[in-house]
Amino acid sequence: AMVCHAGQECLEGRKAYRRPDGGVQLFRRDKTGGRMAATHERLGIPPIPVEDLVEAVKTLVSVDKDWVPSAPDTSLYIRPCTIATEPHLGVKASGNYLFFIICSPSGAYYESGLDPVKIYVEDELTRAAPGGMGGVKCGGNYAASLYGQMKAQDLGYSQVLWLDGAERKYVEEVGAMNCFFIVDGKVLTAPTAPGTVLPGITRMSCMALLRDWGYVVQEEPILLDDLLAAAQSGRLPEVLGPGTAAVVSPVGTLRCKATPTPVG
């Protein structure tokens, strides 16, 4: 299958939650299809009608609704996926694809549950460059991040915070979640515009909620040095990682150039 050679593969990650009244709620069902459609386009995969994708997810969840758990912090994780299946070795877009959805009951993403996570700021390797694929959800982005993730884990950190691919001066996002920094009472997050940060649906929902609650939320390039200075002078009370899998994970420590910097 061509997916094994040219790597045409993409995915989504959504969740369905058990409501207190026993019903099942899909988180941001309205946003499920649009991003996967954009990912298909970037990877040269034929378009998938957004309505079909949403309908497929709804149908699977309704068939498997008994698998949606009800304990606190649990959900049914839903993973739509497309892979190139033409049997061919050359470098070209595949002629055939398989679209499938898998789902599984899931608990908290990090072993530590909602305890603050420790994050390693990677200043050598990068995962995305302007014009590349960082803005879409595909396995290739994870492949680019795994070695950094292993380095971080060896040092006792659970995730990597990636810097921009051009200058390694600006913070972008964490492996599978976006990143919010609260500095001087404002919520800062990296812009998705150059295509190096995934437009997270949890990110978008949190930005809307925060603005509703009266917070100033700014999408702007964030200099790592400014963040470290803010942390050192006590002006970085919180760092948060929003993502479907991670929910909203608090960050307790940022390790940069061998120095752990506590948040808060």
Binding mask 186-205 for ligand PLP (x = CB under 6 A): ------------x-xxxx--
Applying CB under 6 A, among 82, 196, 244, 253 the residue interacting with ligand PLP is 244
SS3 154: helix
Q: CB of 178: closest distance to ligand PLP in angstroms? A: 5
Q: Are 11 and 98 in contact (CB under 8 A)?
A: no
Name the H helices within the chain. Answer: 32-42, 50-63, 139-154, 201-212, 224-232
Residue 31 sits at φ, ψ, to 5 deg, of -100, 0
Collapsing DSSP to helix, strand or coil, 78 comes out as strand
Q: Which is nearer to ligand PLP, 73 or 184 (by Cβ)? A: 73
Cβ 173 to ligand PLP shortest distance, Å: 5
**259 Cβ partners below 8 Å, 6+ apart?**
none
Q: Which of 148, 165, 194, 243 binds ligand PLP (CB under 6 A)?
A: 243
Report the Cα 114 to chain-centroid distance in Å.
Answer: 17
Binding residues for ligand PLP, total number by CB under 6 A: 15
Could you tell me which of 165, 173, 139, 151 has the C-alpha nearest to residue 249?
173
Structure tokens at 97: 């694809």
* Contact set for ligand PLP, span 38-97 (CB under 6 A): none
Minimum gap (Å) between residue 232 Cβ and ligand PLP:
27
Residue 177 found at the interface with ligand PLP (CB under 6 A): yes
Q: Which is nearer to ligand PLP, 3 or 235 (CB)?
A: 3
| Closest CB 108 distance from ligand PLP, rounded Å | 15
Give the distance, in angstroms, between the CA of residue 152 and the centroid of all CA atoms in the same chain.
18
Q: Quick check: 164 binds ligand PLP (CB under 6 A)?
A: no
Stretch that binds ligand PLP, among 47-55, 146-154, 175-183, 253-261 (CB under 6 A): 175-183
Q: Which is nearer to ligand PLP, 132 or 242 (CB)?
A: 242
Other CB atoms within a 10 A radius of the CB of residue 79 amount to 14
Residues in contact with ligand PLP by CB under 6 A are 13, 137, 141, 173, 176-178, 198, 200-203, 242-244
